[in-house]
Amino acid sequence: MTDLELIIDPAAMPMLLPLMQKGVGLPAQIGCTIRQFLCDQLGISDAYLDQRIQTLFLNARPVDDVDGAILQDGATLALSAAMPGLLGATMRKGGHYAPSARPSPWRRPCQAAMQPARGV
């Protein structure tokens, strides 16, 4: 795994904000779960995913189950630590206020093999 550490002068931070707001495109193997993508392909630890990444959106829809949501070609995945307030409590994965019956349109059987694609 490769680590990237950015040390930025606070005065230069505004130049980084557009990147953080718009995101980046990454080549990825599709047909895998969010956990497989983040942990196996990007090298994020399972513990970090479970403990620090509290809010996930896949194509603008909240995700509760990182082991069931499947990434498709061209998907948009947004990650966040815990967000404040009632909205943050309702969007947090597995949170007390998250609707327990929240539909998960991303669930479908895993494909036999992940496929290379345009990216996530």
Q: For 81-110, what is each residue's pLDDT tens digit?
A: 877 776 666 666 766 655 543 545 544 444
Q: Cα(69)–Cα(31) distance, rounded to whole angstroms?
A: 10
Please report, as a single letter, which amino acid is at residue 47: A
Angstrom distance (rounded) from CA 26 to CA 23: 10
User: Which of 6-15, 73-82, 97-106 has the weakest average pLDDT?
Assistant: 97-106
Q: Could you tell me the domains of the chain?
A: 26-100 (3.10.20)
pLDDT of residue 38: 95
Beta bridge partners of 29: 116
Does the pLDDT of residue 78 top 80, yes or no? yes
The reported pLDDT for the residue numbered 2 is 64
Q: List the one residue out of 23, 98, 15, 13 whose CA is nearest residue 63.
A: 98
pLDDT at 20: 74
Q: What integer pLDDT is reported at residue 75 of this predicted model?
A: 93
